[in-house]
Structure 1
């Protein structure tokens, strides 16, 4: 896939002075292309280009410069510790180059294919693996999402997400460049910043939307927007309902992974069901493997899948079934109309208790419906009789454990009630706001 079709906007309305606004600084697409050309000249011929992925115009220029040069871009988290940084740079062979946004240069690029990004993702064991994401996969995914969300050059996209993950970088930066929409990156994704941005299309993770609905004025200020999109983790049903009540919007939820990009989504013009992530995008096929009680591991195929883990052929092979379907490791249920619900991760969120298979996400949503509960994470812990017992970690005020147990039992089947409840000041989370269950303290 040549670079030009991937960066559609850079060949469209290049003179708009505020096409991109990152952390308060603005530029036109023409200015971005000139700065990226200077980066491309320095990066040309490198094995990979390392980019300090802060929400700045320099980061945007570096990413586009790498794409212009046909060099794989390796985003590095600005707060990465020395061990993590050394691993990413050593594993990928990526090098930094100077980036001066005031510098301008032309770069006559030849049409190129191959790897666009190397995104590092952590598993449950071992150091992070480099995920090879191609230009073709990015282009296919962004075009499918533009159609699903009716995303055009008339939109102004607003988000405050990190630029070293798929959500903020691929969707939130390259998506704007692909569609030609304006982009406002708020720096920090605060409710006040979202309310003041005046966008038509907003991206956020559940933590962001939870904070927005706690600031009612901010949520109401989003009423003029066209679409709110939530991703990177399941959106709790109570947050969905609060967004609808306060802003008038039923948010779009979607599902994806670093290895697959976004594969399933609700549609801008379709029904949006709380707790559901919609239907597969065009070209994506999904299946639920070995379902029991209607749930099992979600597997899929399609044009948005990665090209493998950098230097790890065995890990790449292990991520696919014998007949070529990618193993997501996520547990899902699919309704008769094709609507997908993600129950959780197979490793942590599928609880087998007393012969039942229980999705942690369902119990978490029930807990979050209690007015005293602000956050909840549910896991399975070994139990001599049940096999596993349901354990709930909650952030809550003025409520006892038994009350929460009874509350869940009143909303769900009795066997889905927590057998143990532990109160925390906060849940451990990563940069995207996903709860890190492996970091929860033991009972």
Structure 2
């Protein structure tokens, strides 16, 4: 026997009356948007130190506070808009004939600001949380090298300057070489807000091989140039030093290269010949790439970066090392490759190199207390003796004592060159030493 089954339409959740405003209404839409906006605001939590591991590796309180300043600024702006959104929504409900355009504009702005805040928090949580993983100790070690570079410069100034804080912060990002974001520069990662402390980006392969960390003094030097007030002033000083001695076309090239040249030369002053050896590892590529000249580029052609630093090494008293580096470099990349350079620049390269070293390293600067950069910080033969002893200690897994952290890079390179221990052991001892200091 067939049984007829009758389907009864389900009753609406709120009402069965067609057109009943309790089913949905403009007022309910307004209330829901205001509720969501308030919830967005309530969910915008500050960063807490406990999120990021133990004190031994976590970001410093100063770094967390600096990030939270940006979060608070966003929170305050969002709170103002949520309050205004609530007020405009109440007025809309009281006047059913009023146009909702202003309310909808506020809704969009609140949503976009919420996305921006989440993006900012995700960035900081991302780089801070790296300290809780396997790279935490190594990144903290890079922090200490960067801090030591700052200490060396600030302690050598001819006059007391306010100490910049927070210190540089290292984070891991693979896929490209090391890089940095200066203090105060506006970053898209931060919604075009000023970066509150220097960020030093390090790829995994550099952390794995600490003797390749000569890039750290280079990236830190970019921040030193910025924090010392030399970012805008240095190209003017280079041009003044070269005026009447080089053609204008050559001066234009050298001044365009001031940032990367400053970072290279400062790196050499900070860790000595090891910096040039590390630089060769990076810029020594195919002949076409190493000899490439970009007329608009801010990076010097790799072909000339090694000779520029060798010119400084000679003035620092390392003539034999400079000669050895240049001899090997010229055998791989003969000077004939300079034919790609513009003629007015090419014909004056040697003179320009000498003047560049003079302007950046040996001319007194008011920002340095009327001292030259090479007077503020430099690497000498006494430092070689310290580095040599430290290389033996690294190879044996012993404490390197009070050796400045930046010199550990040179010590690791020397230990590798002398094959004093397995590379994995040298890497392990390098970071263990940085954890102890």
Larger helix share, 1 or 2: 2
Q: Which TM-score bucket, shorter chain as reference?
A: under 0.3
Structure 1 length as normaliser, TM-score?
0.26
